[in-house]
């Protein structure tokens, strides 16, 4: 919503519009250049042409600037469940969600690599990423329960989707060839199935 095309066209407020986007870009570049801890919020704000106070009006904290698009991803993921027939198994539902997620996230691999490099280099950022995924998992499990999936199965299926996503995404970002995220997701899920079946 707040992210899409700019709504006003000319003669906007006293300040340049798109402060949120400028802050996002400034933050990512500074985190890349100096590392997360070495970049102060004041630095980021300055590069974006605003005050530190304004930074905190857009983002709850210094980490969130890298993650605030996760709510959009969550919405898309949940929407992917809507169309499915009620007969779909929990794991197939998960597969459908992963398909959507891959489509959403799998576009710009270079950007993904930059983001991932920054996140992996800092423990606080890894923490934040994990809780975002867990939040997604919780929401997913809720929906699955609404669809009639058993309590525990819903939790397990949802958490499993996160596992597959994490492993597949890591493979995708690391990969040297140009394999597409979707395929890696599918293959990873298959491998998990095989693992559970054989064990």
Partner DNA sequence: ACTGTGATGTCACTTGATGACATCACAGTG
Partner DNA sequence: CACTGTGATGTCATCAAGTGACATCACAGT
- Residue partners of 180: CB distance under 8 A and separation at least 6: 102, 106
User: Which one, 80 or 90, has the nearer CB to a copy of itself?
Assistant: 90
167 near a copy of itself, rule: CB under 8 A: yes
User: Which one, 79 or 130, has the nearer CB to DNA?
Assistant: 130
Backbone phi and psi for residue 155, each to the nearest 5 degrees, phi listed first? -60, -45
Q: Measured between alpha carbons, how far is 74 from 199 in angstroms, rounded to an integer?
A: 32
* E strand segments, 10-152: none
C-alpha torsion angle, residues 169, 171, 172, 175 (rounded to 10): 160
Residue 133 CB, shortest distance to DNA, in Å, is 20
Q: Measured between alpha carbons, how far is 22 from 50 in angstroms, rounded to an integer?
A: 9
7 near a copy of itself, rule: CB under 8 A: no
Q: Measured between alpha carbons, how far is 189 from 163 in angstroms, rounded to an integer?
A: 9
198 near a copy of itself, rule: CB under 8 A: yes
Give which of DNA, a copy of itself, none residue 113 binds (C-beta under 5 to 8 Å, depending on kind). Answer: none
Residue 44 CB, shortest distance to DNA, in Å, is 8
138 near a copy of itself, rule: CB under 8 A: no
40 near a copy of itself, rule: CB under 8 A: no
Q: Measured between alpha carbons, how far is 26 from 56 in angstroms, rounded to an integer?
A: 14
What mask, x for binding a copy of itself by CB under 8 A, covers residues 176 to 195?
Answer: ------------x--xxx-x
Residue 173 CB, shortest distance to a copy of itself, in Å, is 14
- Kindly list the residues in this chain that would bind DNA in the complex (CB under 7 A): 11-15, 17, 19, 39-42, 49-54, 56-58, 60-63
- Output the six-digit token pair for 177: 């060839």
Give which of a copy of itself, DNA, none residue 188 binds (C-beta under 5 to 8 Å, depending on kind). Answer: a copy of itself
Q: Measured between alpha carbons, how far is 123 from 6 in angstroms, rounded to an integer?
A: 34
130 near a copy of itself, rule: CB under 8 A: yes
Q: Measured between alpha carbons, how far is 19 from 182 in angstroms, rounded to an integer?
A: 33
Site residues for a copy of itself per CB under 8 A = 89-92, 94-95, 123, 126-128, 130-131, 134, 152-153, 155-157, 159-160, 163-164, 166-167, 170-171, 188, 191-193, 195-199
């Amino acid at each position: 919503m707040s992210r899409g095309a700019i709504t006003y066209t000319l003669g906007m407020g006293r300040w340049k519009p798109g402060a949120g986007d400028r802050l996002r870009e400034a933050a990512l570049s500074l985190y890349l250049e100096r590392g997360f801890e070495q970049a102060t919020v004041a630095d980021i704000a300055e590069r974006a042409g605003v005050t530190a106070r304004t930074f905190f009006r857009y983002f709850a904290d210094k980490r969130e600037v890298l993650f605030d698009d996760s709510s959009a991803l969550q919405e898309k993921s949940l929407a992917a469940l809507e169309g499915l027939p009620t007969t779909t198994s929990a794991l197939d539902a998960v597969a459908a969600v992963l398909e959507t997620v891959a489509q959403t996230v799998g576009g710009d691999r270079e950007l993904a690599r930059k983001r991932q490099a920054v996140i992996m280099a800092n423990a606080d950022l890894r923490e934040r990423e994990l809780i975002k995924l867990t939040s997604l998992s919780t929401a997913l499990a809720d929906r699955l329960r609404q669809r009639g999936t058993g309590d525990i199965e819903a939790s397990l299926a949802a958490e499993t989707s996160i596992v597959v996503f994490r492993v597949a995404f890591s493979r995708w970002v690391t990969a040297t060839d140009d394999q597409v995220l979707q395929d890696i997701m599918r293959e990873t899920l298959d491998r998990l199935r095989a693992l559970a079946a054989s064990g």
